[in-house]
Amino acid sequence: MKADTTADGEDQTDAAVPKTGSRYRIEALAKGLDVLRLFDESTTSLKLREICDRTGIPMPTAFRVVATLEEGGYLERLPDGSIRPGVSVLLLGSAALRGSSIVQLSEQPLRHLAEESGETVNLGVLVGDQVLYLARLRNSDLVTANIQVGSTLPAAYTSMGKLLLAYLSDSELATALSNHDFGADAGPNAASSLDELRERLAVIREQGYSLQDQEVAAGLRSVSVPVFGRDARKPAAAINIAVASSRHDVEALRGPLLTRLRATADDISRLLRST
């Protein structure tokens, strides 16, 4: 027997399931957001059946959700039937990054840092077990040419990621890295286990900055420091200077580059606290 539908077109059998969260929650909208969250750098397209399997949304409902998002330009369908994010998602993401207060306030200090150092500078935040790049001013000879604003990298391998992980409690750290595969897509010097990473994070907490020496990829080094807002206990973000290993050794990162980086972080922190 075909399921009856509610006034908003949702399967009655689906709508009958007890809902959790706010009483203002719009379940159909929540399902659409669940679908959009499936896509990231490693998942760029999916079949409708895969969307159902990963979200638990029934096929008829998933079909309508996808059709609605497709009509609005948030999803698009490929010739083979696969579904991928559309241009409207890119426009939203770009607007969110441009409108972020921390991005706006850090733009000028980061530009000055890039000009003074002659190296690549980045601003990032922690999202689960990944670092999300919010700003990037790139030196042309850096090896990670594929990283751009909106890209993510495993937090356990990056200087910004390790710095932000270092401020988490043990339980928060375990939760954040519960799905991280140590050894996957890592550079030659990356931590190979959670215990090894914990030891590195303890050093970072003590010294107040984080080094990355070919942990993301061979030939790449970086140094990172925290940026604080009004909460002085937990960073709002991290910034780093990334260099080619052929240009700077590890000790060079602890010298003038770290001094410049800390001064820039202080400038951004003051701007954040004043807003």
In terms of C-beta density within 10 A (0-12 exposed, 13-18 middle, 19 or more buried), how is residue 188 classed?
Answer: exposed
Pick the residue with more confidence: 159 or 16?
Answer: 159
Mean pLDDT of 242-248: 87
pLDDT at 143: 53
Q: Which residue reads 């751009």 in tokens?
A: 148
pLDDT at position 104 over 50:
yes
Strands 152-154 and 120-127: unpaired
The SS3 assignment for 259 reads helix
Q: What is the pLDDT of residue 92?
A: 66
pTM of model > 0.95: no
Residue 248 confidence (pLDDT) above 70: yes
Domains in the chain: boundaries: 12-91, 100-274
Tell me the pLDDT of the chain averaged across its residues: 84
CATH match of 12-91 with 1.10.10.10: yes
If pLDDT is split at 50, 70 and 90, which confidence band does 72 have?
confident
Q: For the ranges 3-12, 25-34, 93-102, 248-257, which has the lowest average pLDDT?
A: 3-12
Q: What is the CATH code for 100-274? A: 3.30.450.40
Directed axis angle between helix 59-71 and helix 48-55, to 10°? 120
Nearest one of 211, 206, 216 to 255, comparing CA atoms = 211
Question: How much is the average pLDDT of 133-146?
Answer: 72
Distance (Å) of CA 60 to CA 27, 38, 55? 15, 18, 13
DSSP string, 96-116: HHHH-HHHHHHHHHHHHHHHH
pLDDT score recorded for residue 127: 85
**Sign (positive/negative) of CA torsion 151, 201, 236, 222?**
negative
Report how far residue 253's alpha carbon sits from residue 223's, in angstroms, rounded to the nearest whole number: 6
3-class state of residue 147 by DSSP: coil
Residue 1, both tokens:
């027997």
Quick one: what percent of the chain has pLDDT higher than 90? 49
Which segment of 5-19, 114-128, 261-275 scores lowest on mean pLDDT?
5-19
Asked whether the predicted pLDDT for residue 144 surpasses 80, the reply is no
